[in-house]
Chain A
């Protein structure tokens, strides 16, 4: 049992999260409640959507650091459209379209022109943020309509509409990765040359991964605007790195080909729980980054050491088995 948990990053992280939450519960009575759970879920929505976006990109052994900028751009498109009097569904469509367009730009740069993804998305990180600032002229977009804010407000059993959509997205990604096409995404990152050799459309797969990412950043942008009711210039700034950290924590390999949706979800929830706990413990918010970073390193280090130890043991066992099988065959050999 213990061993299975040690082998499974998702399970390890789940237990660590439960342990952290219980400790906080001891220190701050009233913390452990359904209410806190919905707070953590809703606080983590934006990060969750960004992480779900980057997830397939990382599975294909690429990286996308332009998420924060695309989030900001989509939010600005949404805000401007609403303030110009467009209906909410139409404005949402524009925002989603902007995210998808930006994702396609990233995808074409990487899959079409063969620019290394870190270079391409570092470029578009600046580019999209620039487009956003020029569009707004550096102004914040305020006084967003109530209709938008209601998307982020708790309505169904403590969940907001965006919260429910996010849950559906998680199920969809889980289902997709179990499909044959989902496997294609995994193996493209595992060994791109082999995937090409076996006739998989690797470039199309990469393009689609970046496009998906763009769409998710747009959803994150919509959620962001709905939750806080205005769009500041720095909307989404730096969130891509937090999302990547959450993914790594959830066992998604930056070398591609390894990772599960469970890992994404638990990674994000872990980060958000820490932030939320600090509020309950009345620790000043500027401690968040330090504690989050230390927790990340701690979990990764312990997990890495455990894994090395287990692998060494497995290897020894394999060879021991090998020599036992050999010894069993010895008498036969003597007879022959």
Chain B
């Protein structure tokens, strides 16, 4: 048996008297990739933050490389050879990519330039070390975090959902790097919601639910259904929507040769009560297209019709007034008011429709209606939004969009970083919305998700519309369209 590199021995943690972790045991051995799974709020992130010294345990022991020492600070954990790649990238916006990666390392950044460039080439991303980090897209910020972990060659490397912003090709190369580290005797912890990814690389699996370890086994000895049941008993995988559902032929939104920053000459329409999946790899121009529609970016040419009328929005709130509501992929920046009560958040798209003197009673009632409809788990409508788990926050964002009663709802990566249970809820909500006649433009880089939900699928690649597929198309067909341009770029 390989030596244990890091161990958590009956670790407990509670916040304000509420237990988050209850006597959890967890270990990472040399030369293994250990999968850590669990719903939102199960305690995965807290567990890993304790290991990384970012959070102090309320009870139990933490040992790294047999040292009976509890890492009390991130600096100590790093010194002991542990690095946590967090789910949300921590970036220094005013520094270069290289400085971002090398800050805190013993030598000046220039000493690591060659190594960083080599890793960038190996993973196959296009990223210049000299770029100022403020200009990076979310996906690239995530890559910077992963590079930080790889450059440090940590004995214990924790990756918290590293693949959520990567394309399938990049995921494969990341996996190859991870397997290389494993072969060299490193221990890795891999947190992901995607079972097939975990299957591809992991040796052992630990499942957390409500702060307890509910499954701990070798990966090849546990079936998918074992894992799903352990994670959220009573939740089963949803059926695909299936092709051939009757939809109206009436176009709610029609784009005619629309061009803007990052995309050219895009034409398609979204019909009433339809879910149109808009997909492609990162950098295909989908997000830019959505942001242009709601007035966040300038339009260079082309026309947009909304219900037969010329449509042009100067700002997102202008778009909301005209009936298009956009849920951004950047939840950190354009998401919730974290300190404000939930019901304030729910009304925040429609402030101009509220009376001059607000009526909190009415607002609370309205929030309660959506809370029930969307299944938001919270104690009170007056709770600050920041106190909810990621999946519930996403539902509050959906509530905020629905309050505006949109004709067209644009959802950009609505399930990124959301656990299986909440994801199924969100899928159900999207289906219900479409059934009630709302049109949904679903932007997602998760091809499975697109196939499951969409009535029709538009695929973008390199800023162009690569093609349109009917509902029920396979993920292979999508990949073919989505990667054509990308592969050429790499060649």
Seen from chain A, the residues whose Cβ lies within 8 Å of a Cβ on chain B are 180, 183-184, 186-187, 190-191, 193-201, 257-258, 315-316, 319, 322-323, 325-326, 329, 332-333, 336
Contact = CB atoms under 8 A, between A and B. Distances in A.
A258 B95 CA distance: 9
A142 B324 CA distance: 73
A326 B91 CA distance: 29
Interface residues of B, number: 33
B95 A186 contact: yes
B104 A319 contact: no
B491 A332 contact: yes
A76 to B, nearest CB: 39
A199 B489 CA distance: 38
B485 A199 contact: no
8 contacts: A184-B103, A200-B103, A200-B104, A257-B94, A315-B261, A326-B462, A326-B485, A336-B488
Given A193-B90, A257-B92, A199 B264 contact: no
Given A191-B93, A199-B77, A200-B75, A323 B264 contact: yes
Given A198-B78, A198-B104, A198-B148, A190 B464 contact: no
Q: 6 smallest A-B Cβ distances: which pairs?
A: A194-B90, A199-B75, A198-B104, A190-B92, A199-B78, A319-B261
Given A187-B103, A195-B103, A326 B463 contact: yes
A254 to B, nearest CB: 13
Contacts of B488: 329, 332-333, 336
Contacts of B261: 315-316, 319
Residue among B95, B262, B485, B487 with max Cβ neighbours from chain A (10 Å): B95
Contact of B463 (A180, A316, A323): A323
B337 to A, nearest CB: 19
Contact of B462 (A191, A196, A319, A329): A329
Contact of A197 (B54, B93, B264): B54
Interface SS majority for chain A: helix
B464 A326 contact: yes
A182 B422 CA distance: 45
B74 interface: yes
Interface in B471-491: 484-485, 487-489, 491
Given A322-B262, A326-B462, A329-B489, A187 B79 contact: no
Given A198-B74, A199-B79, A319-B262, A191 B463 contact: no
Nearest to A203: B73
B485 A329 contact: yes
Contacts of B484: 333, 336
Contacts of A195: 92, 103
Contacts of B76: 199
B92 A187 contact: yes
B99 interface: yes
Interface string B252-264: 0000000001101
Interface in B74-107: 74-79, 84, 86, 90-95, 99, 103-104
A160 B407 CA distance: 73
A130 B108 CA distance: 45
Contacts of B491: 332
A199 B108 CA distance: 16
A225 B136 CA distance: 50
Contact of B95 (A190, A196, A199, A323): A190
Contact of A180 (B108, B464, B485): B108
A190 B133 CA distance: 11
B75 A186 contact: no
Given A198-B74, A199-B75, A191 B485 contact: no
B141 to A, nearest CB: 11
Contacts of B462: 326, 329
Contacts of A316: 261
Nearest to A201: B75
A199 B74 contact: yes
A247 to B, nearest CB: 16
A300 to B, nearest CB: 19
B188 to A, nearest CB: 18
Contacts of A180: 108
Contacts of B264: 323, 326
Contact of B94 (A184, A258, A332): A258
A331 to B, nearest CB: 10
Contact of A198 (B93, B103, B489): B103
B92 A194 contact: yes
A277 to B, nearest CB: 34
A194 B463 contact: no
A73 B94 CA distance: 36
Nearest to A191: B92
B94 A186 contact: yes
B187 to A, nearest CB: 19
B77 A194 contact: no
Interface in B221-276: 261-262, 264
Given A197-B54, A333-B484, A336-B484, 14 more contacts: A183-B95, A183-B99, A186-B95, A190-B92, A194-B92, A196-B54, A197-B90, A198-B148, A199-B74, A199-B77, A200-B104, A257-B93, A257-B95, A326-B463
A190 B94 contact: yes
Interface string B458-469: 000011100000
Contacts of A326: 264, 462-464, 485
Nearest to B84: A197
Interface string B148-187: 1000000000000000000000000000000000000000
